[in-house]
Amino acid sequence: MTLETQKDVAEHPPYLAHHFKSMDQQTASGKLGMWIFMGQELLFFSGLFCAYGYCRFMYPAMITETQKYMDWRLGGVNSVILLISSLTMSLCVRSARVNNKSLSIKYLLATMFCGLLFLVIKGYEWATHFHEGLFPGRFYSPDAEVLISSHTAHVFFGLYYTITGMHGLHIVVGVGLMLWLLRRSLRGEFNSENYVSLENVSLFWHLVDLVWIFLYPILYLAK
């Protein structure tokens, strides 16, 4: 090893990948990749929202009738839970940026807890619908107590399970990513210089919140 190479290794920040010139370049590249992915995610969900808009336009009376079976209180509780998780995720990144490792871990755990709580409530909602026979597509077979006369209600429930299912899947992925971040946080990998992974997962989590911000009014509150 030449003297110059030895000097380079000594000055090399521990978290800098070898294909980047500096930590700034590494952070900027990571964020750019994440924002492009976020754009793709937005377009992915826009297809589902457009399908819902189409359904609403074609069968307005059916949507009004079926939406009576959406529990706006549970949806509201889930909205508040996701909002709290967005706050804790932002505070987690902030804590890492000011080198407060223990607080960052606490906020990360709080965010994971909120994500899991959201899934439990969503699961309860789905179970209630299944109990009433409100299945999607050709499996739709409502109980006698269900007062939906529309012949196209199965279309709404197909969309409902697809949209909320994809959103739920994103929550599962988000919580999984946070588990990975937790492991790295416990090793003390994040600090004011190296926090781009935390920030990118935070962006993903805010996107999940953003999607729910629109899902809640259109699925639960609109008439």
Partner 1 sequence: MSNNNHEEQHLFSVKFYVKIFFILLVMIFMNMGISKLPLPNEWVTFLLLVVATTQAVIVSLFFMELIHEDKFYSFIWAGAILFMVLFFIITLFELNGRGAFDKMEDIHYMRSIDLNNNYAPSGPEMQQKSSPSPSVEEKK
Instruction: Write the DSSP symbol of residue 137.
Output: G
* Interface segment toward partner 1; rule CB under 8 A; list 92-100, 112-120, 126-134, 175-183: 92-100
CB atoms within 10 A of CB 186: 11
Distance in angstroms (rounded) separating the CA atoms of residues 111 and 211: 17
Nearer to partner 1, 20 or 126 (CB): 20
The pair of three-digit structure tokens given for residue 183, joined into one six-digit string: 């492991």
Q: Does 12 engage in binding with partner 1 (CB under 8 A)?
A: no
Distance in angstroms (rounded) separating the CA atoms of residues 201 and 93: 10
Q: Does 139 engage in binding with partner 1 (CB under 8 A)?
A: no
x/- string (CB under 8 A) for partner 1, residues 174-193?
------------------xx
Nearer to partner 1, 54 or 180 (CB): 54
Shortest gap between Cβ of 159 and partner 1 (angstroms)? Answer: 13
Nearer to partner 1, 28 or 127 (CB): 28
* Interface segment toward partner 1; rule CB under 8 A; list 12-20, 52-60, 115-123, 173-181: 52-60
The pair of three-digit structure tokens given for residue 152, joined into one six-digit string: 């196209």
Helices H / strands E in the chain, number of each: 7, 0
Long-range contacts of residues 207-211, Cβ cutoff 8 Å, at least 24 apart: 207/38, 207/41, 207/42, 207/170, 208/82, 208/167, 208/170, 208/171, 208/174, 209/82, 209/83, 209/85, 209/86, 211/45, 211/167, 211/170
Q: Does 159 engage in binding with partner 1 (CB under 8 A)?
A: no
Q: Are 38 and 208 in contact (CB under 8 A)?
A: no
* Interface segment toward partner 1; rule CB under 8 A; list 13-21, 42-50, 108-116, 159-167: 42-50
Task: With CB under 8 A as the rule, give the number of residues binding partner 1.
Answer: 57
Residues interacting with partner 1, by CB under 8 A?
Answer: 23-25, 27-29, 31-32, 35-36, 38-40, 42-43, 46-47, 49-50, 53-54, 57-60, 64, 72, 76, 79-80, 83-84, 86-87, 90-91, 94, 97-98, 138, 151-152, 155, 192-193, 203, 206, 209-210, 213-214, 216-218, 221-223
